[in-house]
């Protein structure tokens, strides 16, 4: 089916690009034309189903680069996960994936589940049996004995186990490899967040072995030392990137500059809970925490968007609430949209398929009422969401006239 989508403005993805009175033509699951309305209408000819959206904008489907579908976002996600068998967990994960999609996320990267469940869900979505975003999954993250998220099943000790684990994860159908380079928040009696779990040489082995399988590496790193090791090892994305030292914040400009030079992305992995943090800590302390993002940006480190959905309070159905952090930090809405589309797609290795409205790209697109360039709030007012060319349930498409 061919679909012609007409809006007051087309936002193709890159910051600064905007087509007033524009249109997008979709054929099946692929975008075939993007441009001024009259031109696209002319090329569409008769027979395309026409959707008119006055007062609206169309932009690429959004990308959430950091979710955990296996966690339920409740007060004890680890306890709930460990008490659930796979047959209970999988349908719950499918429901969370639908929540992601309903708020405009057409691509999501799962960075840690159990037993290959996210890969199973990805495959059922790809077969069209379940509605959900395009999913990339890392499988169980590599970690150390009693380390961060050891219960997901990715414990390794020493080089040969690292190689074997990466190889097995790739064999099981993972889209990338995730490694817990530092401690984290979630696991009782595990190393503190600032402390490294793996050294630079271990991380090099991870990157090398993943590269053999054609996979990228995402490194969870709160600690400054772990960030430096991950950057030196050549990972693709640094998750959290919080610059923690044993005595508090410890930003290292030389490391950030190496990140920028090597094109290594930073993902804040921060949910809509940022508002509660600002209230709890006050603007000064919250500014010190979130100010790292402005600082990274000023040094040229590419930022991508992710929410750590599944952790306590990190819900699956408020991606815009998470993006509004960047608005609070002073990023122009057009740049935030670019981060959540173009830049995130590139970080995931999908830069030629999703994250832009351009001929040949997948028909993942979002129509919203109002002007998202004037404020991200507009992204909450969805009028139509196409995922692989198919309207997501509940959307009222305009009257077909052609």
CA 357/CA 215 separation, integer angstroms: 26
Q: Decide whether 112 or 333 has the Cβ nearer to Zn ion.
A: 112
Q: Decide whether 148 or 204 has the Cβ nearer to Zn ion.
A: 148
Give the residue nearest to Zn ion (CB).
Answer: 308
Q: Decide whether 187 or 229 has the Cβ nearer to Zn ion.
A: 187
Question: Scanning residues 124 to 143, which ones bind Zn ion (CB under 5 A)?
Answer: none
Q: For residue 242, give the nearest of 175, 166, 295, 203 by alpha carbon.
A: 295
Tell me how many residues contact Zn ion (CB under 5 A). 1
- Cα-flanking dihedrals φ and ψ of residue 379, to 5°? -65, -15
Q: CB of residue 362 vs Zn ion: minimum separation in angstroms?
A: 26
Q: CB of residue 64 vs Zn ion: minimum separation in angstroms?
A: 12
Q: CB of residue 311 vs Zn ion: minimum separation in angstroms?
A: 7
Q: CB of residue 109 vs Zn ion: minimum separation in angstroms?
A: 10
Q: What is the DSSP track for 89-133?
A: HHHHHHHHHHHHHHTTEEEEEE---STTHHHHHHHHHHTTSS---
Q: For residue 114, give the nearest of 74, 76, 143, 157 by alpha carbon.
A: 143
- 342: how many CB neighbours lie within 10 A of its CB? 22
Q: CB of residue 300 vs Zn ion: minimum separation in angstroms?
A: 25
Q: CB of residue 66 vs Zn ion: minimum separation in angstroms?
A: 6
Q: How far is CA 100 from CA 96, 143, 226, 304, 399, in A?
A: 6, 27, 30, 17, 27
Sheet bearing 105-110, strands edge to edge = 62-67, 105-110, 134-137
Q: Decide whether 225 or 308 has the Cβ nearer to Zn ion.
A: 308
Q: Decide whether 134 or 222 has the Cβ nearer to Zn ion.
A: 222
By CB under 5 A, is residue 113 in contact with Zn ion? Answer: no
C-beta of residue 345 within 8 angstroms of C-beta of residue 356: yes
Question: Scanning residues 293 to 312, which ones bind Zn ion (CB under 5 A)?
Answer: 308
Q: Decide whether 268 or 286 has the Cβ nearer to Zn ion.
A: 268
Question: Scanning residues 307 to 336, which ones bind Zn ion (CB under 5 A)?
Answer: 308
Point out which residues bind Zn ion (CB under 5 A). 308
């Amino acid at each position: 089916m061919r679909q012609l989508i007409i809006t007051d403005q087309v936002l193709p993805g890159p910051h600064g690009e905007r087509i007033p009175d524009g249109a997008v033509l979709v054929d099946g699951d692929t975008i075939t034309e993007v441009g001024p309305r009259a031109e696209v209408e002319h090329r569409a000819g008769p027979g395309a189903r026409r959707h008119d959206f006055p007062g609206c904008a169309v932009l690429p489907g959004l990308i959430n680069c950091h979710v955990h579908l296996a966690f339920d976002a409740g007060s004890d996600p680890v306890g709930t996960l460990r008490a659930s068998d796979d047959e209970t967990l999988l349908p719950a994960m499918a429901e969370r994936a639908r929540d992601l999609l309903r708020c405009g996320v057409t691509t999501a990267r799962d960075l840690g589940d159990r037993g290959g469940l996210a890969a199973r869900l990805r495959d059922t979505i790809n077969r069209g049996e379940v509605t959900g975003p395009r999913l990339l999954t890392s499988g169980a993250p590599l970690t150390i004995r009693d380390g961060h998220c050891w219960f997901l099943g990715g414990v390794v000790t020493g080089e040969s186990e690292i190689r074997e684990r990466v190889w097995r994860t790739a064999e099981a159908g993972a889209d990338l490899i995730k490694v817990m380079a530092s401690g984290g928040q979630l696991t009782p009696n595990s190393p503190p967040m600032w402390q490294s779990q793996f050294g630079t040489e271990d991380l090099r082995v991870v990157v090398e072995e993943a590269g053999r399988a054609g996979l990228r590496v995402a490194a969870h790193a709160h600690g400054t030392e772990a960030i430096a090791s991950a950057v030196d090892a050549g990972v693709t994305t640094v998750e959290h990137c919080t610059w923690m030292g044993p005595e508090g914040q410890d930003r290292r400009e030389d490391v950030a500059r190496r990140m920028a030079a090597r094109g290594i992305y930073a993902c804040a992995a921060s949910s809509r809970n940022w508002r509660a943090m600002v209230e709890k800590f006050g603007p000064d302390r919250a500014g010190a925490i979130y100010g790292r993002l402005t600082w990274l940006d000023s040094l040229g480190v590419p930022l991508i968007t992710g929410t750590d959905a599944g952790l306590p309070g990190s819900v699956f159905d408020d991606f815009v609430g998470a993006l509004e952090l960047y608005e609070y930090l002073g990023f122009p809405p057009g740049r935030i949209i670019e981060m959540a589309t173009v830049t995130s797609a590139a970080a995931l290795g999908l830069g030629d398929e999703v994250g832009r409205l351009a001929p040949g790209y997948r028909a993942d697109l979002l129509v919203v009422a109002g002007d998202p360039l004037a404020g991200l709030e507009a992204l909450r007012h969805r009028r139509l969401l196409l995922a692989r060319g198919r309207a997501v349930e509940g959307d009222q498409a305009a009257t077909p006239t052609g």
